[in-house]
Amino acid sequence: MQITFTLTVVAAAALLGLGFAKGRRRLALSRAKHRSLAGHSRIAKWLARQVPGYAYDETRFFGCDGAPPEVQQARREGLRTLAEQFAQRHATTLAMTRQARQALPDLALTGSYRVPFQFSPELRRHLTVGAFLRAADGMWVEDADGQRLIDLTGSYGVNLFGVDFYKSCIAEAGETASRLGPVLGAYHPCVLDNLERLQRISGHPAVSFHMSGTEAVMQAVRLARYHTGRRYLVRFSGAYHGWWEDVQPGPGNPMPPRETYTLADMDERTLHVLRTRDDIACVLVNPVQAMHPNRNAPADSALVATRHGAAFDRAAYKGWLQRLREVCSERGIVFILDEVFVGFRLAPGGAQQYFGVQADLVTYGKTLGGGLPVGVVCGHEWLMQRHREDRPADLCFARGTFNAHPYVMAAMNVFLQRLETPAVQARYVGLDERWNARAEQLNRQLEQVGVPVRVAAMSTIWTVQFLQPSRYHWMLQFYLRAHGLALSWVGTGRLIFGLHFGDAEFGEVCDRFVAAALQMRADGWWWLDPARDAARLERDWRHKLLLEMLRARLPWWPVRAPPRGGQPAAAAPGTPDAPGARGAVNA
Q: Does residue 2 fall inside a structural domain?
A: no
Average pLDDT over residues 9-24: 61
Of 475, 502, 522, which residue sits at a domain end? 522
pLDDT band at 581 (very low <50, low <70, confident <90, very high): very low
- If one counts every other C-beta atom within 10 angstroms of the C-beta of residue 95, the result is 15
Query: Which residue segment(s) compose the domain that 517 sits in?
Result: 67-160+429-522
- Same domain flag for 137 and 81: yes
Q: Does residue 58 fall inside a structural domain?
A: yes
- Same domain flag for 289 and 438: no
Lowest mean pLDDT among 8-17, 129-138, 198-207, 385-394: 8-17
Q: What is the mean pLDDT of the chain?
A: 89
Handedness of CA 5, 11, 12, 17 (dihedral sign): positive
- Same domain flag for 517 and 473: yes
The pLDDT of residue 129 is 94
How many domains, the chain? 3
- Same domain flag for 348 and 485: no
* DSSP, residue by residue, 433-483: HHHHHHHHHHHHHHHHHT-SEEEEEETTEEEEEESS--S-GGGHHHHHHHT
Average pLDDT over residues 568-575: 38
pLDDT for 573 beyond 50: no
SS3 354: helix
pLDDT in tens, 94-149: 999 999 999 999 999 998 889 999 999 999 999 999 999 999 999 999 999 999 99
The pLDDT of residue 6 is 63
Quick one: which of 417, 414, 437 has its CA closest to 425? 417
- Same domain flag for 126 and 191: no
pLDDT band at 580 (very low <50, low <70, confident <90, very high): very low
Cβ neighbours of residue 414 closer than 8 Å, sequence gap 6 or more: 168, 169, 172, 173, 176, 370
- Same domain flag for 410 and 440: no
Q: Does residue 475 fall inside a structural domain?
A: yes
Of 506, 522, 538, which residue sits at a domain end? 522
pLDDT in tens, 224-233: 999 999 999 9
Quick one: which of 488, 39, 516, 511 has its CA closest to 300? 488
pLDDT in tens, 78-98: 999 999 999 999 999 999 999
Q: In this structure, what CATH number is given to the domain that contains residue 224? A: 3.40.640.10
- pTM comes to 0.89
Handedness of CA 93, 96, 97, 98 (dihedral sign): positive
pLDDT in tens, 306-319: 888 788 999 999 99
Average pLDDT over residues 63-71: 95
Cβ neighbours of residue 264 closer than 8 Å, sequence gap 6 or more: 32, 33, 34, 39, 236, 237, 270, 294
Q: Does residue 399 fall inside a structural domain?
A: yes
The pLDDT of residue 158 is 95
pLDDT band at 587 (very low <50, low <70, confident <90, very high): very low
Quick one: which of 555, 34, 41 has its CA closest to 252? 41
pLDDT in tens, 368-393: 999 999 999 999 999 999 988 888 88
The pLDDT of residue 560 is 54
Partners of residue 456 on adjacent β-strands: 463
- If one counts every other C-beta atom within 10 angstroms of the C-beta of residue 126, the result is 16
The pLDDT of residue 575 is 35
Q: Does residue 410 fall inside a structural domain?
A: yes
The pLDDT of residue 435 is 97
Average pLDDT over residues 261-275: 95
Q: Does residue 14 fall inside a structural domain?
A: no
Q: How far is CA 292 from the centre of its chain?
A: 11
- Same domain flag for 58 and 89: no
Q: Does residue 5 fall inside a structural domain?
A: no
- Same domain flag for 167 and 151: no
- Same domain flag for 322 and 216: yes
The pLDDT of residue 9 is 59
pLDDT band at 1 (very low <50, low <70, confident <90, very high): low
254-275: burial string, b at 16+ Cβ within 10 Å, e else: eeebebbbbbbbbbebbbebbe
pLDDT for 487 beyond 50: yes
> Amino acid letter at 93?
T
